[in-house]
Amino acid sequence: MQLLGRRRECAALDRTIAAVRTGESRVLVVHGGPGVGKTALLDYARGRATGLRVLRAAGVESEMELAFAALHQLCGPLLDLLPRLPDVQRAALETVLGLRAGAPPDRFLVGLAVLSLLSEASEQSPLLCVVDDAQWLDRASAQALSFVARRLLAESVALVFATREREPALIGLPELEITGLRDGDAHALLDSLTHAGLDRSIRDRIVAETRGNPLALVELPRGLSPTQIAGGLGLLRAGDSLPGQIEQSFLNRIAEFSDQTRTLLLIAAAEPLGDPVLLWAAAERLGIDPAAALAGGTDGLLAIDERVTFRHPLVRSAVYQAGPPRARRAVHLALAEVTDPAIDPDRRAWHRAAAAAGPDEEVAAELERSAGRAQARGGRAAAAAFLQRSVQLTL
Ligand SMILES: Nc1ncnc2c1ncn2[C@@H]1O[C@H](COP(=O)(O)OP(=O)(O)OP(=O)(O)O)[C@@H](O)[C@H]1O
Ligand SMILES: [Mg+2]
């Protein structure tokens, strides 16, 4: 993708990376509304990070209650460095990552252990850690990363967050606010799309009404009929929020798909790991024929390769919302059935809970066990969430 505009933002990211190359550490919180271009900027930063080791994590809306889920993603590739940590720190981190049993460790110790781990890794090569969708970080990870961000000094570590909202955990850290594209860049973006050839007056209106939000510029005109576009009508409905309207445009496109395709999208929306094996296993349980489901394509809304990815997070939420409750429950049940209880008992319990139509003692008991495990890892918020669901499912 060709990034339009964003000179100031790219320069800030370039400075961050340059600083890390010279042995300093940097933190940057990139924030702005949905679709404004935060992930695109993180991608830019990754593209510029030659010679740096890049670690990634992203908050996942449906996993906000799974303690340390994001930390798991970020630190996963560094586990071989754990033996270099002081014993207490190592034990703390291993406990919260579920690698060993033990009493819930002190929060401070977990933060310190992550700091040490990143610092160890940076001795091998400078590090760029990108944490996308920070508004959906589970609280335990957010706290640990906030701790790290406030204590980085000269480790050659850059920690770059992208978030829709100013998260309490990130307040006070250096910020980079992202707003819509300037008019010239917004026009250039519209021109680069297939529905070019729009009247100047209509393009002006689209640019003005979307306030240069690139996602809206790319997606909104696609959801409209040629007549609507030609008339410049119905582009934006007064009173609806921009993200709401982008979502609606995705919904209109999803409505065109066959049942099989829609169900496949719904499975992908309900499966937070983006694991194609899980996706297809669940699809098979629901009687979906892969060839048929993908025959008509997905209008570029879903990509399935080594990972399952939506075109944009708003597609995921649109798909999930659009799913009738009964279909959603069936999908969660299928996902629970294909999730290995030995490897991922908590996620399985979570899916089973989402699949339950009414009180279910067995699922409630499973959630209670998950709560116990979460508590042992020091995930109090997760434990509370599991228990709350468990109570809801108890007669
Ligand atoms: N500067 C840009 N030039 C061209 N296209 C862009 C630019 N910024 C973003 N886009 C495109 O706009 C769309 C939305 O951008 P992006 O996904 O980065 O938004 P976001 O801020 O991360 O949204 P969210 O908060 O929902 O995650 C993407 O398709 C992206 O490729
Ligand atoms: Mg994003």
pLDDT single digits (tens) 144-190 = 999 999 999 989 999 999 999 888 999 999 999 999 999 999 999 98
Closest ligand to the CA of 164: 1
Of residues 105 and 376, more confidence is placed in: 105
Q: Are residues 228 and 123 in the same domain?
A: no
Q: What is the pLDDT of residue 376?
A: 81
- Does 215 reside within a domain? yes
Q: At what angle do helices 325-338 and 276-285 cross, to 10 degrees?
A: 120
Residues around the ion ligand 2 (C-beta < 5 A): 39
State how far the Cα of 214 lies from the Cα of 217, in Å rounded to an integer.
5
State how far the Cα of 313 lies from the Cα of 135, in Å rounded to an integer.
12
Tell me: pLDDT of 265 over 90: yes
Residues 6 or more apart in contact with residue 319 via CB below 8 angstroms:
250, 254, 262, 265, 266, 268, 269, 301, 310
Domain boundary (128, 158, 177) is at: 177
Tokens in use for 185?
């860049």
Q: What is the pLDDT of residue 17?
A: 97
Q: What is the pLDDT of residue 383?
A: 81
Q: How many domains are there within the chain?
A: 3
The Å distance, Cα 37 to ligand 2 centre, comes to 7
Atom of ligand 1 nearest to the CA of 135: 25
217 lines ligand 1 (CB under 6 A): no
Residue 61, SS3 per DSSP: helix
Q: What is the mean pLDDT of the chain?
A: 89
* Radius of gyration, CA atoms only, the chain: 22
Q: Are residues 334 and 214 in the same domain?
A: no
State the pTM of this model: 0.85
Phi, psi (5° rounding) for residue 180?
-60, 165
The Å distance, Cα 41 to ligand 1 centre, comes to 8
State how far the Cα of 65 lies from the Cα of 67, in Å rounded to an integer.
6
Q: Are residues 192 and 102 in the same domain?
A: no
> Are the C-beta atoms of residues 271 and 304 closer than 8 Å to each other?
no
Q: Are residues 274 and 379 in the same domain?
A: yes
Return the residue whose CA atom lies nearest to atom 23 of ligand 1.
Answer: 35
The pLDDT of 95-104, averaged and rounded, is 86
Return the residue whose CA atom lies nearest to atom 13 of ligand 1.
Answer: 215
State how far the Cα of 395 lies from the Cα of 309, in Å rounded to an integer.
38
Give me the percent of the chain exceeding a pLDDT of 70: 94
Q: Are residues 268 and 368 in the same domain?
A: yes
Give me the percent of the chain exceeding a pLDDT of 90: 57
Residues 6 or more apart in contact with residue 309 via CB below 8 angstroms:
274, 302, 303
Q: Are residues 168 and 38 in the same domain?
A: yes
> Are the C-beta atoms of residues 142 and 134 closer than 8 Å to each other?
yes
Q: Are residues 219 and 322 in the same domain?
A: no
Domain boundary (177, 208, 226) is at: 177
Q: At what angle do helices 7-21 and 38-48 cross, to 10 degrees?
A: 40
Q: Where in the sequence is the domain holding 274, given as residue range(s)?
A: 259-392
- Does 127 reside within a domain? yes
Q: Are residues 204 and 278 in the same domain?
A: no
State how far the Cα of 233 lies from the Cα of 201, in Å rounded to an integer.
12
The Å distance, Cα 215 to ligand 1 centre, comes to 6
Tell me: pLDDT of 203 over 90: no
Q: Are residues 43 and 187 in the same domain?
A: no
- Does 377 reside within a domain? yes
The Å distance, Cα 145 to ligand 2 centre, comes to 19
User: Which amino acid appears at position 63 of this protein?
Assistant: E
State how far the Cα of 148 lies from the Cα of 357, in Å rounded to an integer.
41
State how far the Cα of 365 lies from the Cα of 271, in Å rounded to an integer.
22
Closest ligand to the CA of 314: 1
Q: Are residues 192 and 160 in the same domain?
A: no
- Does 78 reside within a domain? yes
User: Which amino acid appears at position 12 of this protein?
Assistant: A
Tell me: pLDDT of 234 over 60: no
31 lines ligand 1 (CB under 6 A): no
- CB crowding 17-36: b at 16 or more within 10 Å, else e: beebeeebbbbbbbbbbbbb
- Does 43 reside within a domain? yes
The Å distance, Cα 36 to ligand 2 centre, comes to 8
Q: What is the pLDDT of residue 43?
A: 97
Q: Are residues 166 and 210 in the same domain?
A: no
Q: What is the pLDDT of residue 392?
A: 84
Tell me: pLDDT of 364 over 60: yes
Number of H helices, E strands in the chain: 19, 7
Domain boundary (159, 177, 195) is at: 177
- Does 330 reside within a domain? yes
**pLDDT band at 227, cuts 50/70/90?**
low
- Does 2 reside within a domain? no
34 lines ligand 1 (CB under 6 A): yes
- Does 243 reside within a domain? no
